[in-house]
Amino acid sequence: MSNHIFSLPPENEFIQLDKLLKLMRQVNSGGEAHAFIIQGAVRVNGVIEMQKRKKIRVGDSVEFNGEKIEVQA
């Protein structure tokens, strides 16, 4: 599993799960992100996440397609 770091800008309290996947180039579009999330292919903090717009905050980790994204400040 590859590990990646996403630095959440200090002015932002969170980033939505679908936007994070798109920004980290794990998917090509928001619609593609939604499809994978609905299929149960994405985990947040080790738990399958079904909310497309789940608020991801500093300290959270997202797993998708053999990749892990750690959200840091």
pLDDT, one tens digit per residue, over 4-57 is 999 999 999 999 999 999 999 999 999 999 999 999 999 999 999 999 999 999
Q: In 15-60, where do the E strands start and end?
A: 15-16, 42-44, 47-48, 55-56
Q: What's the number of domains the chain is made of?
A: 1
Joined tokens for residue 30: 């928001």
pLDDT of residue 42: 98
Res 1 pLDDT > 90? no
Joined tokens for residue 31: 């619609």
Does the model's pTM come out above 0.85? yes
Residue 26: which CATH number? 3.10.290.10
Neighbours of 4 (CB within 10 A): 14
Q: Give me the domain span that covers residue 35.
A: 2-72
